[in-house]
Structure 1
Amino acid sequence: MVGSTGSPRVDAESDFLRARRHQVLSALAGRIRGDKDDVVQSMSFDEVVEALGRRAEHYVGTKVIPLDRIVGSVDKVRDFDRRFRPTSARSRQRWERLARASRKGEEIPPIDVYQVGDYYFVRDGHHRVSVARGMGVDRIEARVTAIETFLKPVGIDARKDLERKYWRRLMLERVPFTGEARAAVAVDDPWDYGVIAETVEAWGARQMHAEKAYMDKPTMAARWYAEEFKPVVDMIEEAGLRGPNERPAAAYLRVACERYRLIREHEWNAEVVEASRASKPRKR
């Protein structure tokens, strides 16, 4: 815990001013780096759950959780930054009142949070979190409700990560890849997930027309990966057409688009791959 002068009132005032100063400096540093609000502002629980897809929830109980894993809020995103420092002086009196109570050793009730993977989002108790962090405490008691999501809640440290997760979720709802295929179709550009979904659905439609038989979504996803994606990616690898650090799915989409642009057909052979050679990404 931070130092004490022996006066809870004076110390609480200093605690608040220090927290505000650090928040202002952090926001300024973020703007200088070009981060803007993306990794400085508190994360929105609703945005995270919308991106990952909400499946279920269950009450875990009361436990002690690490303060540095509390990254966002249900309804006060603008009032605190990512480290729960106050973004204005609007709630100064309430903040300092809690700080005084904490310094006097008064009992502070548990906060209420949603847990999404290793991340926590505050439902009630924002000021208690802010005061605890401002005073150098590293853990806090919380009533925890766990949220189960469609996608794994990992790699969501910035809003750009949420956009990519959102489009990946939509793609997997349309094309339910599993296992090896699910991992292989990862891309960096969020928009590519929509292209993948359309590509698989178009392939499935052509196959059903040719075979005169219905194909459900799981079957379509599995067959497209085994009969289309994997053989083509192998051809791309053999031809040396995958760029440095280029994901296999991105290479597939690039060459497939080039193929159709050049010859307006959906067949694959060595000549098609060779004709697509000019589209190989250059080294940076």
Structure 2
Amino acid sequence: MVDDLTTYQQALNDFRRARSKAAMQRFWASIQGKSLNLLPYDKISTTLQAVSRTDIGLQNVKLKDIIGSVGRADDFTSDFLPLRDGDIHRWAQVKTAMTSPASAGVPPVHLYKVGDAYFVLDGNHRVSIAKQMGMEEIEAYVTEFKTRVPISSSITPEELILKSKYVEFLNNTRLDQILPGVDFSLNYVENYPLLEEHIAVHRYYMGIEQQREISYEEAVRDWYEKVYLPVVKTIESSGLRNEFKDMTVTDLYLWVLDQQTLLQEALGIPISTEHAAEYMAMHEGKLVKPLSSRGEQHFEETVFSIEPAEAINAYLYTRMQDDCLFRDILVAIGDHDETWNALEEAILLNRCANGHIRGLHVINPDDRIDEETHHKMEVRFEQRLKEVGIEGKLLIVKGDITSRISEHSLLSDLVVLRLNFPPGGLVDRLTSGITSILRNARRPVLLVKDKVLPPEKMLIVYNGSAKSKEALFMGAYYAARWGTQLVLFTLDEGTETLETEISYAKTYLRKLNIDFEYVIKRDEPFVKATLETAAHVKATMIVMGGYSGDSIFDRIFGSEIETLLKETSLPILISQ
């Protein structure tokens, strides 16, 4: 019997309004193809395979995190609006007990917790009323169940299907037991067999390599450390996850490796995982972080590190031993270039034991393909690389030369261009595109003239910009690993922060235990000062930063870059 009839009558009216709201929401949800159903705990528990139970006591639980019910999921909407007219008196009685001044109140509800989500075991009406009243929390006794796959309070029925497929995969592979805490879930669930195949193939080749039977657990751990994790690190560092929000990191792992395989088969050349990821992302219209940014990062880490110089120098050397700076080099081969100086310069720069040089010869779209001439070019290219023990291949493609070079540069660490100014040379077709390539390139570009010179002495043009720090990093790499002499050159145009930036550059080289000369000039034209300094110190290569927004080179690229290229015979390496 209800003592407070006024409150009870109001509760009856509140129920009718809640039922009307529920009916209207269901109507619109049916039109839009959406679900307003509560999630049933039994289905969740069975699907996700609850493995343990723990009573964690009395807690205040956010109502928004309660997403389902134990046994009464059909009686309420996902917002806990009532769906059954027969509940009117029970619902009104509970609300009266919760709100009447004459009432002693109601006991806490009892909830099951799975992951971050809660399910009502006892107290469905209390939760319904609390939500209808706009409360944010409710007092509850909580029992937590651990499942093979955790869920969040925002899970949808569609996501539950994905979770169920993941549980099936874990049943087959036991990855959650071998590598606890690692999430291998996929949104493209049809690829779970492919993921299993990756592990099986890795196990097979491990057995061949080690000439013994490899246990499944050992193969899984080795695959995770040597194959999966390196690819995932590439994905994370490139920003791919931010661009492909509909894919999990394991979806992206499979996608990147699949695209890498397709590219290698199509082009017939080895392609690194990093290059494949960036290349395919750009083709999908996605913007990822360029690989070349590691130089500025290393600069900052070194300058502001508290580690002793010996440790930093050892770190650089070890890092470069494992991570060759220019492992894959792209060389543009022109129509009338008899000397192939770009290839010869690339050979001098490629110091990697497993380095690869790929040539690129671009034919105008309207030109006829001369198969005999192109075959001779391919043979010459392969023979030259065979002579020096470097792997490589010449690719012959049709199209706009600027676009093709920019496209294929994404599959390389360095682009080498031979600029020969007589008519008919590569520069004849490329000059108008040089600015475009340098402005948009995501790789360093080496511009070669008539002389093929080893990187014995580099003139590093430095002004403190991010791109000039990349240039300094490249010089430091060759100095630390190959003994290249460095000359740090600065043109002082009155920039207030230049003195500080030069101090940082000197600190960087000294911490790496690299000897260097320092030259500064003031109030002189850039081209004149650069060429005079290069001649004075007998440099064999000029290294400078490219477009960066605030660099002095942003102003000289265009008319003055042509002047610089015409007046020097030295190769010019431009960081990007």
**TM bucket by the smaller chain?**
0.7 to 0.9
Q: Aligned in 2, Cα 1:92/1:235: closer, same or farther, shift over 3 Å? A: closer
Partners of 1:247 and 1:278 in 2: how far apart? 19
In the TM superposition, what whole-angstrom CA distance separates every residue of 1:101-160 from its partner, at most 9, and x where no partner exists? 333324323222111233210112212222332333433332211112333333752022
Partners of 1:247 and 1:128 in 2: how far apart? 38
- Determine helix, strand or coil for the equivalent of 1:215: coil
In the TM superposition, what whole-angstrom CA distance separates every residue of 1:197-255 from its partner, at most 9, and x where no partner exists? 23313432443355443333432222113333456678999xxx999526554344346
Q: Aligned in 2, Cα 1:147/1:272: closer, same or farther, shift over 3 Å? A: closer
Aligned to 2:454: none
> TM-score scaled by structure 2?
0.40
Letter in 2 for 1:59: D
Aligned to 1:117: 115
Partners of 2:234 and 2:130 in 1: how far apart? 57
Aligned to 1:223: 222
Q: Is the 8 A contact 1:233 1:252 kept in 2?
A: yes
Q: Is the 8 A contact 1:16 1:92 kept in 2?
A: yes
Partners of 1:250 and 1:229 in 2: how far apart? 12
Is 1:142 matched with 2:140?
A: yes
Q: Is the 8 A contact 1:243 1:251 kept in 2?
A: no
Radius of gyration: which is bigger? 2
> TM-score scaled by structure 1?
0.74
Partners of 2:223 and 2:162 in 1: how far apart? 22
Q: Aligned in 2, Cα 1:217/1:159: closer, same or farther, shift over 3 Å? A: farther
Q: Is the 8 A contact 1:111 1:142 kept in 2?
A: yes
Q: Is the 8 A contact 1:254 1:279 kept in 2?
A: no
Structure 2 residue runs of 5 or longer lacking an equivalent are 287-576
- Determine helix, strand or coil for the equivalent of 2:73: coil
Partners of 1:58 and 1:130 in 2: how far apart? 26
Partners of 2:33 and 2:262 in 1: how far apart? 38
**How many pairs does the alignment contain?**
272
Alignment of 1:1-284 (within 5 A): 7-32=6-31, 34-37=32-35, 40-104=36-100, 105-154=103-152, 156-173=154-171, 174=173, 175-176=175-176, 178=179, 182-183=182-183, 185-208=184-207, 211-229=210-228, 244-245=243-244, 249-254=250-255, 270=270, 282-283=284-285
Q: Aligned in 2, Cα 1:233/1:127: closer, same or farther, shift over 3 Å? A: closer
Partners of 1:225 and 1:52 in 2: how far apart? 24
Structure 1 residue 187: deviation in Å? 3.2
Structure 1 residue runs of 5 or longer lacking an equivalent are none
Q: Aligned in 2, Cα 1:160/1:194: closer, same or farther, shift over 3 Å? A: farther
Structure with the bigger RCO (C-alpha within 8 Å, sep 6+) is 1
Structure 1 residue 6: deviation in Å? 8.0
Structure 1 residue 7: deviation in Å? 1.3
Partners of 1:166 and 1:12 in 2: how far apart? 40
Letter in 2 for 1:125: G
